[in-house]
Amino acid sequence: MTRALTQSMQDYVKAIYGLTRSGPASTNDIARKLSVSAASVTSMVKKLHELKLVRHTSYRGVALSHAGTMVALEILRHHRLLELYLNEALGYAWDEVHAEAEKLEHHISEDFEDRIAKVLGDPSYDPHGDPIPTKDGRMPPTVSERLADANINESVVIRRVSSHDAAMLRMLTSHGLLLNTTLRIAQRDADTGALVVQNGKRRITLDREITENIFIERL
Amino acid sequence: MTRALTQSMQDYVKAIYGLTRSGPASTNDIARKLSVSAASVTSMVKKLHELKLVRHTSYRGVALSHAGTMVALEILRHHRLLELYLNEALGYAWDEVHAEAEKLEHHISEDFEDRIAKVLGDPSYDPHGDPIPTKDGRMPPTVSERLADANINESVVIRRVSSHDAAMLRMLTSHGLLLNTTLRIAQRDADTGALVVQNGKRRITLDREITENIFIERL
DNA sequence: GATATTTTTTAGAGATGTCTAAATATTTCG
DNA sequence: CGAAATATTTAGACATCTCTAAAAAATATC
């Protein structure tokens, strides 16, 4: 902890982390993700650059520095530990945890973080199957294959649903598509990419937007 | 919930609540309690007055309106439920709960409040023995007799320690002076008002500042 | 390759909540 | 009672984070 970052700064760092999985983030991307104007992003990015949390060249996009990445991972650890805690200790459903964790993540102490981690048995994954960064900034391994890319007739297990869209999560729940559910790919719509999957006796059609956010393990 | 109050407004409302147990609060009192300048208080009080949360006449002190009191009680409910939750569910000591609850109280949802209340069995008292306001703004009964006013040779039970001073709470812990501990008043220093109390085999001297914050039940 | 479109940045302003310094009101006390 | 001390308010400034509008740079299109 070099110095206290404002909540706003933390939100930007977190947003940039999420947007730079593959290459630098544009000003517009960040603005869209945070629902602020592009001008606001430019000015905040300038501040983060001065704090050495991001690298930025005008008109060329933004990337986190090592220090910035560490900050992002710490926030992500808070967020995902909270999600799991809300789920396991307080009975929140997986579609409810995100919003509450979002509000709390900036306000818990290191001590609180340590205590809930301990109560949870030092967990590696949150209720969506997303990895919880360790205290020293390492990321537990995760499956990276998308349901969208599975083959017809293949059997797969849902290991991660990387979405904060509560409506989508509830829809999956209603069809019995939870973490660790095994399903078989029945058919694929050549035009839209939508998949029909077989979950036990149920057949469910999932459009591409959904199948791209579901990560699987092949059987 | 008429509208969202800023955290700062909530802090002022809470401070005013705590200062108006007996008569209106002065600008200076509020400034001292919140560690801000008197000028800041004047300007914030003006805003709270416009929101109809306080009554204020220039140079004459501030009091909460009914609406303001309801806001204060809701914040207090959050705070004390959190304190108890931290204590019971996460193993925080009674001297550690205040600081953490202080940070979280503004950021939990109604849903979170309801869930921890339920887990705790809808409790009426926090780890210091302070009453937890009900959801509809009623205050559970509390003892109001101070240890400071107990008589020599009287036996009393500690029912409430209304202090956020962690050092004082740790000192009490170290002498075995916890909630529901029975003790006997051995002697009183006529000058300073300090009491010597007998807790089992231990004799402990408590100065007036402390005995005024310990509330008791007479036996 | 010049022009049009899109993206990003700069400039300047507004809201919030804080401050200090100065002015004004109230209270205390000789 | 009137002067001194204290308390409160006003005035004006500053930091943070946001915005819109306009300018500048980069990219796309004909």
Question: Is the shortest CB-to-strand distance from A219 to strand C under 7 Å?
Answer: no
pLDDT at B3: 57
Question: Is the shortest CB-to-strand distance from A58 to strand C under 7 Å?
Answer: yes
Q: Do B103 and A108 touch (CB under 8 A)?
A: yes
The whole-number Å distance from B59's CA to D3's C1' is 21
**Token reading at B6:** 């800023």
Question: Which residues 29-48 of A interface with strand C at a CB distance below 7 A?
Answer: 29, 38-39, 41-43, 45-46
Q: Give the minimum alpha-carbon distance from B119 to chain A in angstroms, rounded to a whole number.
A: 8
Question: Is the shortest CB-to-strand distance from A198 to strand C under 7 Å?
Answer: no
* Each residue's pLDDT tens digit, B58-90: 888 999 999 999 999 999 999 999 999 999 999
pLDDT at B60: 87
B123, pLDDT greater than 80: yes
Name residues 75-94 of chain A within 8 A of B (Cβ): 86, 89-92
The whole-number Å distance from B69's CA to D28's C1' is 61
pLDDT at A3: 57
* Each residue's pLDDT tens digit, A5-33: 999 999 999 999 999 998 999 999 999 99
Smallest CA–C1' separation from A6: which nucleotide? D16
Q: Do A108 and B111 touch (CB under 8 A)?
A: no
Report the share of chain B in percent with pLDDT over 70.
99
Q: Do B100 and A90 touch (CB under 8 A)?
A: no
Minimum CA–CA partner of A116 in chain B: B90
Mean pLDDT of B4-31: 95
Would you place residue A4 in the very low, low, confident or very high pLDDT band (cuts 50, 70, 90)? confident
Chain D positions with any atom < 7 A from a protein CB: 7-12, 16-22, 25-26
pLDDT at B4: 83
* Each residue's pLDDT tens digit, A176-194: 999 999 999 999 998 999 9
Mean pLDDT of B187-211: 94
The whole-number Å distance from B22's CA to D12's C1' is 36
Q: Which residue is nearest to nucleotide D21 (CA to C1')?
A: A39
* Each residue's pLDDT tens digit, A89-148: 999 999 999 999 999 999 999 999 999 999 999 999 999 999 999 999 999 999 999 999
B2, pLDDT greater than 70: no
Q: Which residue is nearest to nucleotide C24 (CA to C1')?
A: B59
Q: Do A104 and B104 touch (CB under 8 A)?
A: yes
User: Furthest-apart CA pair in chain A: how many Å?
Assistant: 57
Among B1-15, B19-33, B136-150, B203-217, the minimum mean pLDDT is found in B1-15
Q: Give the minimum alpha-carbon distance from B50 to chain A in angstroms, rounded to a whole number.
A: 28
Would you place residue B1 in the very low, low, confident or very high pLDDT band (cuts 50, 70, 90)? very low
Identify which of B96, B99, B107 has the shortest CB distance to residue A104. Answer: B107
* Each residue's pLDDT tens digit, B153-191: 999 999 999 999 999 999 999 999 999 999 999 999 988
* Each residue's pLDDT tens digit, A44-75: 999 999 999 999 998 889 999 999 999 999 99
Identify which of B100, B109, B116 has the shortest CB distance to residue A112. Answer: B100
Q: What is the per-residue DSSP string for chain B?
A: --SPPPHHHHHHHHHHHHH-TTSPBPHHHHHHHHT--HHHHHHHHHHHHHTTSEEE-TTS-EEE-HHHHHHHHHHHHHHHHHHHHHHHHH---TTTHHHHHHHHTTT--HHHHHHHHHHTTS-SB-TTSPBPPPTTS-------EEGGGPPTT-EEEEEEE----HHHHHHHHHTT--TT-EEEEEEE-TTT--EEEEETTEEEEE-HHHHTSEEEEE-
